[in-house]
Amino acid sequence: MAWRDTSGRNREEQPEEVRVRFEDVYREHVASVWRYVRLRVPSDSDAEDVTSVVFEKALTSWPSYDAGRGSVAGWLVGIARHAVADWWRKHGRELPAEHPGGRTEQTAEDDPEGDALRRLGADDVRRRLGVLTAREREAVALRFGSELNSSEMAVVLGVSPSAARMLVHRALGRLREVMDDE
């Protein structure tokens, strides 16, 4: 398959610095994009397929990426959100209430609520996320799947950074209540 950028050139015809820079972006962000996608689709293999689509689209759009409009991580998550929605439309279903879990590298001291989420198995996370609203699930996926900060989350969600933090805080509070009740 020939890769094309927005100017219509084959990938091999792209300037070397464009190819090298995108390869660096891929290496730096593929894991967090996969974790975000994995929180939104039912299996690892589906997440791998969707992640491939995300980076195909990102490579095609890379020459037009504008750093002034947001971080690379936020831009990739925006592409991932659309790719996940396309995946669900193709499979004839809406995004379900329950999703499998991801993992991040923060410590319990830095992020006790996130640590509780990370300790749960995928089945437990999937079941517990079902108590959240779609917006809360999205905020949790952005924060813990893609590891976006509140400013990056705000851009993706179309809210202020404080509203993004509050969404995550409320979602984690609801999850904590569910865990305490069990």
- The DSSP result for 43-88, as a single string, is SHHHHHHHHHHHHHHHHHHGGG--GGG--HHHHHHHHHHHHHHHHH
Burial category of 49 from C-beta neighbours within 10 Å (exposed 0-12, middle 13-18, buried 19 and up): middle
pLDDT of residue 101: 40
Do 86 and 24 share a structural domain?
Answer: yes
Is the pTM above the cut of 0.75? no
In this structure, the number of other CB atoms found within 10 A of the CB of residue 59 comes to 20
Q: How many domains are contained in the chain?
A: 2
Main-chain dihedrals φ then ψ at residue 4, nearest 5 degrees: -130, 140
Do 158 and 124 share a structural domain?
Answer: yes
pLDDT at 17 over 90: no
- The domain that contains 121 carries what CATH number? 1.10.10.10
Residue 167 sits in which domain range?
112-181
Beta-ladder partners of 10: 4
pLDDT of residue 11: 47
Contact of 147 with 32, CB cutoff 8 Å:
yes
Whether 66 maps to a domain, the answer reads yes
pLDDT at 29 over 90: yes
Do 81 and 18 share a structural domain?
Answer: yes
pLDDT at 2 over 70: no
Do 16 and 84 share a structural domain?
Answer: yes
Contact of 80 with 50, CB cutoff 8 Å:
yes
pLDDT at 20 over 80: no
Whether 98 maps to a domain, the answer reads no
pLDDT of residue 87: 94
